[in-house]
Structure 1
Amino acid sequence: MRQNISSSSLFRSRRSVREKVNLFRIRVIIKQWAMRRKSEKLIYLLLLLPVGLVFFFMSCGKKKAEGAPDTSAEINYSPSLDIFPNPERGFIHTYIVKSGGTPLSSAQLGLLRKENISMVLRVFYLDSFKDKPIDEAGLSLIQADLQKIRDAGLKAILRFAYTDEITGTDAPYDIIEQHLNQLKPIFEQNKDVISFVQAGFIGAWGEWHSSSNGLATTDNERKVLFKLLEVLPSEIMVQVRTPGQKQAIFNTASPVDQSIAYSADKKARVGHHNDCFMSGGSNYGTYSNVTAEKTYISNDALYIPTGGETCPPEGGYDPSCPEGRNEMKLLKWTYLNLDYYQPTLNAWKSSGCFDEFHRNLGYRLVLLKSKLLGQAVAGQDYSVSISMTNTGYAPLYNYKVTSLVLKNTATQNVYSFELPVDIRQCKPSGTFNIDQPVKLAGVSAGNYDLYLKIADKADNLKNRAEYCVRLANTGVWTEDGGMNKLMQQIKVSAQ
């Protein structure tokens, strides 16, 4: 006979069964958990405890970081208008030397950083070697100059040429090839302090025109450029004189894009230098189709460098502050020569925009905010969330090592953790986010200040502050180690 059971009794009966099943499951979990700790006494003790106390013991057994509340602090940073040097960007000075000439002055180079200059253009005229190899004295001069540049905490743009007269003579291709083979070991030995190389060699001033040996043709320019790219380390970029020359050499008007950027692809390694910048019209033949070629350079320069020097204006053109600002932004200028053309540079100074250009030539990275946990466990992942922008005219072009650095507030011990990010992706006016877990391997327990370090990839330069990127924020830069203080602390507990 079927019993008449009320719905409430049936509910209590089912709940009782569920509770027993859940309790059984909890006891199984507890047993597995305790066995991993090899404590049989703990197993039986926990199995005898009420369920509520079991949960209490289980929660107490967790690492603090796993069950701790969110203690992250979000900080917004203030931008700075300070002018300061940063690697591979800004105003530059040009130093020219002919065969047997005077080496660079270490004393003179040592003063440049006080002008907030981090880079120089060194032009070597091989005028005594148009029909023979570069002699040992000539090679030694080049090597010694690059060493002085390194000692001064600077970097160099290089150019080689044979004549500084429009009617002068250059060298035939076989001599150029021989010279480039001789220069290859110097390029390799000094790649850490070479920012870029201008194509050079052909014609007056190495500017690829007026060649006495008929080299100012697309085929010969291609031969010289490809040979230069061959002897240079693959990470060094080369600049050619006009956009039309690059387009003709590679037989395309398509700019470099993300698919080949920063690769060993020859096209991805070739940028532009304009030595008649801000002169109006075609910039003395720099452009044949002004609007189209400026658009081409603007897109190309997201990944390859542009720079050069001003020239006397033509046709009533006025290189005013607005014109200078618009051109530098459009063409993503990374450097500009201070030694020519003085009337244009002086006009910018008197009009009040020179300092603006000094700040914004090249990249200018600014911290926006960071969100970082106040606690961490040694050996475990630590979440990093940092946001920045680039208020400069151009991105970085050479790879940098970006790291989170922990500095113990008591012992001053430093731990550095490289972040898998490419800071070159921080494009002008764009936002760049670093959202990465960092495994705090080997960190001792203690309190730490947090820093962001953006360093040169060369082992012998990465710990020199002159070669680290300073962020344009108030109160963050420290010369000690070339780091940017994030103004946050964490407490690291032992594992």
Structure 2
Amino acid sequence: MKKIKMTNHYILGLIFLAFNWNCQSDGGGTEPTEEPAIEAGVSQIDYQVSQQVFTNPERGFMHTWTVFSEGNAVDPTALDNLKNQNVSLILRLYYLEQFKDGPLSTVQLELFQTDMERFREAGVKCVLRFAYTNDQNGTDAPIDVMETHLDQLAPLFEENADVIAFVQAGFIGAWGEWYYSSNGLANTEGREALLTKMLEVFPENIKIQVRTPLYKQAIFGYSTAMGSDIGYGTSDLARVGFHNDCFMASTTDYGTYQDIAAEKDYISKEALYVPTGGETCPPVDIPLADCTTAETEMELLKWTYLNLDYYGPVLDGWRNANCFEDFQRRLGYRLALRRATLADEVSNSLQLRLDMENLGFAPVYSTKNSYLVLRSTADGTLFKKPLELDIRRLLPDSTFEWEETLDISDVPQGSYELLLEIADAFESLQGRPEYSIRLANANVWEASTGFNDLNHTITIN
């Protein structure tokens, strides 16, 4: 278990943010290695980790919903039913088979916009992919047509960036898997031309996933995994992750890997910053992936989402072996409070210390807005204090200590409950609990507000 310590103090009115990263093993425990001394008037609140399966944004099992040219928009009733399945992601695969030789129609563009509006209304996000054929021997489009379609869609991508979680590169070849191409695009030159255009038209907060690690390495001309200096940025390199459509289906995952150990190690390191996800498919030279194999692979490759609709026998095997629910809990991030150290009575400033951990397979990939919320016990008035907390740095299998001193001189005297909000960064989704991160603790989540209750009340005097 790694331990990551991050502190933030206000000194003489100046904000100083310091990160102290310690990646040494602490023996596998989940508690901080040193117990802090508790001063008089300071409370230490210990939290119970919950095993409940629940929904969180941008991670977990997902459905794949395919639509052909000018087809039907997503069904609002089906979207409503996702709540009962703990699903917050839909892979929306658009086939553009009618438009291989020309621009997209107004009807096609309206279909896309309607889908995005319905995703937002339902409180879910999507993973996008576009393709021109679902036949291995079918035809795709020339690169200039692909670029025209992306230019047409660009304003809609910008308008709906709030509900687009990730994008699978798509377009080229059967199923948009970048392998077969009737237009000679299944090579580094063709793939690079498409990816360059996609990085141009999609907002920089959206990460794009390519089908194999070697595709990314060839396009960018490198093979050493990026570090945090690049990974937390918005350069093209920092925006490209991976999807695998034959996860655990052969020794090479149907050609996903060539140098298997080296490329998996590369993805494992890159996936601290960019997402991995996809689906399983029928195994050809190995048995169906059992629970142990699947857990090992998902931990190594930091899987954040997995298709619920394919391949059925693999998923049923996990259900029958009673590990499916564990994967429901651990796909993507699963953040939990361990301890908070908080004063009981304060005046102009409040010192916050939180000990947290990530029990999931992956980190949070998109930036979030975190707040300490003070709620008056007298009348419910809210005061939100922005935190410097970057939740993306809470890595899987890690403990995380956060300290920050907050100026509360503008908060009136009185008694206040303390709550933590980890909200979506988009203003359009503010105040939507479905888009806030729920912590994996008992007795903290408020479904009506999207707040996590720190179970502590302070007096401001």
Post-superposition CA distance 1:184-204 (Å, at most 9, x none): 101000000100000000000
8 Å CA contact 1:89, 1:334 repeated in 2: yes
Name 1:335's counterpart in structure 2.
305
1:206 and 2:180 matched: no
What amino acid is the match of 2:411?
V
Deviation at 1:375, TM superposition (A): 1.1
Name 1:54's counterpart in structure 2.
none
Post-superposition CA distance 1:66-90 (Å, at most 9, x none): xxx8411011111000000000000
Which of 365, 368, 382 is the equivalent residue of 1:400?
368
1:424 and 2:396 matched: no
Deviation at 1:257, TM superposition (A): 1.0
8 Å CA contact 2:251, 2:286 repeated in 1: no
> Structure 2 CA distance, aligned partners of 1:91 and 1:264?
27
The structure with the greater share of residues assigned to helix is: 1
Within 5 A, what are the aligned runs for 1:377-392? 377=347, 380-392=348-360
What amino acid is the match of 2:236?
K
Within 5 A, what are the aligned runs for 1:117-156? 117-156=87-126
> Structure 1 CA distance, aligned partners of 2:313 and 2:375?
49
Name 2:378's counterpart in structure 1.
410
- Which structure 1 residue ranges, 4+ long, deviate > 2 Å from structure 2? none
1:280 and 2:280 matched: no
> Structure 2 CA distance, aligned partners of 1:388 and 1:309?
30
1:443 and 2:408 matched: no
> Structure 2 CA distance, aligned partners of 1:407 and 1:179?
48
Name 2:185's counterpart in structure 1.
215
1:486 and 2:454 matched: yes
Find the residue that maps to 2:230 and give its secondary structure: coil
Deviation at 1:183, TM superposition (A): 0.8
> Structure 2 CA distance, aligned partners of 1:469 and 1:345?
26
> Structure 1 CA distance, aligned partners of 2:86 and 2:194?
34
8 Å CA contact 1:278, 1:310 repeated in 2: yes
1:103 and 2:98 matched: no
> Structure 2 CA distance, aligned partners of 1:110 and 1:187?
24
Q: Which protein shows a greater Rg?
A: 1
Q: What residue ranges of structure 1 are gaps of 5+ in the alignment?
A: 1-68
8 Å CA contact 1:79, 1:474 repeated in 2: yes
What amino acid is the match of 1:220?
G
Within 5 A, what are the aligned runs for 1:6-405? 70-377=40-347, 380-405=348-373
Deviation at 1:440, TM superposition (A): 0.9
Deviation at 1:473, TM superposition (A): 0.4
Find the residue that maps to 1:460 and give its secondary structure: helix
Deviation at 1:254, TM superposition (A): 1.1
Q: How many residue pairs get matched?
A: 423
Identity over aligned pairs, percent? 47
Post-superposition CA distance 1:95-124 (Å, at most 9, x none): 000002111001110110211111110001
Deviation at 1:441, TM superposition (A): 4.0
Find the residue that maps to 1:259 and give its secondary structure: helix
Post-superposition CA distance 1:376-400 (Å, at most 9, x none): 22xx221110110001000000001
Q: CA RMSD in A?
A: 0.9
> Structure 2 CA distance, aligned partners of 1:101 and 1:152?
20
Name 1:473's counterpart in structure 2.
441
Structure with greater contact order relative to length (CA < 8 Å, sep ≥ 6): 2
What amino acid is the match of 2:278?
G
8 Å CA contact 2:367, 2:425 repeated in 1: yes
8 Å CA contact 2:249, 2:286 repeated in 1: no
The TM-score with structure 2 as length reference comes to: 0.91
Post-superposition CA distance 1:120-172 (Å, at most 9, x none): 10001111111111011000000000110010000010001100000000000
8 Å CA contact 1:162, 1:203 repeated in 2: yes
Post-superposition CA distance 1:19-47 (Å, at most 9, x none): xxxxxxxxxxxxxxxxxxxxxxxxxxxxx
8 Å CA contact 1:301, 1:332 repeated in 2: yes
Find the residue that maps to 1:144 and give its secondary structure: helix
Deviation at 1:443, TM superposition (A): 1.2
Find the residue that maps to 2:218 and give its secondary structure: helix
> Structure 2 CA distance, aligned partners of 1:382 and 1:210?
59
8 Å CA contact 1:277, 1:283 repeated in 2: yes
8 Å CA contact 1:262, 1:269 repeated in 2: no
Deviation at 1:218, TM superposition (A): 0.2
The TM-score with structure 1 as length reference comes to: 0.85
The structure with the greater share of residues assigned to strand is: 2
What amino acid is the match of 2:395?
K
Find the residue that maps to 2:261 and give its secondary structure: helix
Deviation at 1:360, TM superposition (A): 0.2
> Structure 2 CA distance, aligned partners of 1:465 and 1:102?
28
